[in-house]
Amino acid sequence: MNDLGRLEDLPQDYRDELKQHNLVPLWPSLRAVLPPKVPTRQTQATMWAYQDIKPLLLKAGELTPIEKAERRVLVLANPGHGLEKMQASAAMYLGMQLLLPGEWAPSHRHTPNAVRMVVEGEGAYTTVDGEKCPMSRGDLILTPTGLWHEHGHDGHAPVVWLDVLDLPLVYYMEASYHINGERQQVHTGQGDRAYAHGGLLPTPVFERTARPYPMLRYPWHQARAALLAMAADQPDQEAVQLTYVNPETGAHAQNILGFYALMLRPGQTLRLPARSPACVFHVIEGGVDIDVPTQPLKLGEADTCCVPGYTEVTLHNTKLDQSTFIFMADETPLHRKLGVYENRG
């Protein structure tokens, strides 16, 4: 590869003149923006242990009343991007949110899409677009772009969940904003009941108001049962994985980020190919060692990590007597829509 000219090679008066006209020479930066063969990634393989987060989150519950926070969240920030950027990867934001009994996080809507993966506690709920979604460990609840959402808690112990948003991308696009609203009227009907049985679609005879997000809550007991049934049905299948989809279209549940549940059989080792999107792993049940080229990550229950794109990942279920269940989020829908998705095998 031939060396390209440097900025310092240019006469100062020429550089000054370029600057005056808001012009920049490409060649000194060409290799930086178009590196050879593999992209430069600021995203570092990073792990956040729940046992580190939880006491600090509970402390935030003492230090900051919900009225002063609206959303009481500690952001899982990737040091590779700089903590102040509050991003886990190029397109993904992760936060651990605490809601205490009796608290209410008021209704708002915003352009970024969000999901919640419930980590701990019972009795909280999120109302999304008028649908009250109870929260239990492992449930996935969508709050897609533009839909009103608010969180309440009728239980007796702290509830914690993991927020996954495409905020860094939408912010980068200069398209991120929110609107505050009134407490929502809850209506009857729950998407997770209507669409509870695979292959069977509710079919109104008279009227069909197409809803872009027909299913807002994916109960963990259903996802877990589906994984166990798949594993039992195909004992030789290497990867027991399912994707959270829109049951009307079969497409990814949301437009930008993809969400999956993965089951590792007892003691199983699973190699995931190097793919262009960055990926987040969160352990719902069990434990997993995650090998990436930089360092091994050891995840126990409720731990979370992020791995950059274009990286081969090997998962090893550390439990020899039980399956491990993992929630994954990645940037696949985004990469596919933009035509930059790659699977390098």
Tell me how far, at minimum, the Cβ of 187 lies from ligand GTQ, in Å. 20
Distance CA(73)–CA(102), nearest Å, equals: 17
Instruction: Specify the residue, 186 or 200, whose C-beta has the smaller distance to ligand GTQ.
Output: 186
Compute the distance between CA of residue 2 and CA of residue 131 in angstroms, rounded to an integer: 60
Q: Which C-beta is closer to ligand GTQ: that of 77 or that of 227? A: 77
Contacts with ligand GTQ by CB under 6 A: the residue count is 9
Report how far residue 294's alpha carbon sits from residue 14's, in angstroms, rounded to the nearest whole number. Answer: 42
Nearest to 149 by CA among 101, 174, 115, 173: 115
Q: Which member of 71, 85, 265, 319 binds ligand GTQ (CB under 6 A)? A: 71
Judged by CB, which is closer to ligand GTQ: 176, or 222?
176
User: What binding mask, one character per residue, do residues 24-63 give for ligand GTQ by CB under 6 A, x or -?
Assistant: ----------------------------------------
Question: Least Å distance between CB 126 and ligand GTQ?
Answer: 8
Site string for ligand GTQ, 124-163 (x = CB under 6 A): -------------------------x-------------x
Tell me the closest approach of the beta carbon of residue 150 to ligand GTQ, in angstroms: 8
Looking at the Cβ atoms of 73 and 270, the one nearer to ligand GTQ is 73
Cα–Cα distance for residue pair 130/188, rounded to 1 Å: 8
Q: Kindly state whether residue 85 participates in binding ligand GTQ, applying the rule CB under 6 A.
A: no
> Closest distance between ligand GTQ and the C-beta of residue 96, in Å?
8
State which residue, 76 or 240, has the beta carbon closest to ligand GTQ.
76
- Give least dist CB 193 to ligand GTQ, A: 24
Site string for ligand GTQ, 88-117 (x = CB under 6 A): -------x-x------------x---x---
Q: Considering the complex, what minimum distance in angstroms separates the CB of residue 279 from ligand GTQ?
A: 19
| Nearest distance from C-beta of residue 61 to ligand GTQ, angstroms | 15
Close Cβ partners of 143 (under 8 Å, ≥ 6 residues apart) = 113, 114, 115, 116, 126, 128, 149, 216
Rg (CA), the chain: 22
Report the nearest approach of ligand GTQ to the CB of residue 78 (Å).
Answer: 15
d(CA 272, CA 268): 13
Least distance CB 62 / ligand GTQ (angstroms): 20
Nearer to ligand GTQ, 263 or 302 (CB): 302
**Measured distance CA(257)–CA(26) in Å, rounded:** 32
Q: Calculate the alpha carbon distances from 185 to 148, 149, 280, 325 in Å.
A: 11, 11, 34, 35
DSSP β-ladder status, 178-180 and 304-307: unpaired
C-alpha–C-alpha distance, residues 225 and 240, integer Å: 12
Choose which of 57, 66, 73, 119 interacts with ligand GTQ (CB under 6 A).
73
| Chain residues in the site for ligand GTQ (CB under 6 A) | 71, 73, 95, 97, 110, 114, 149, 163, 165
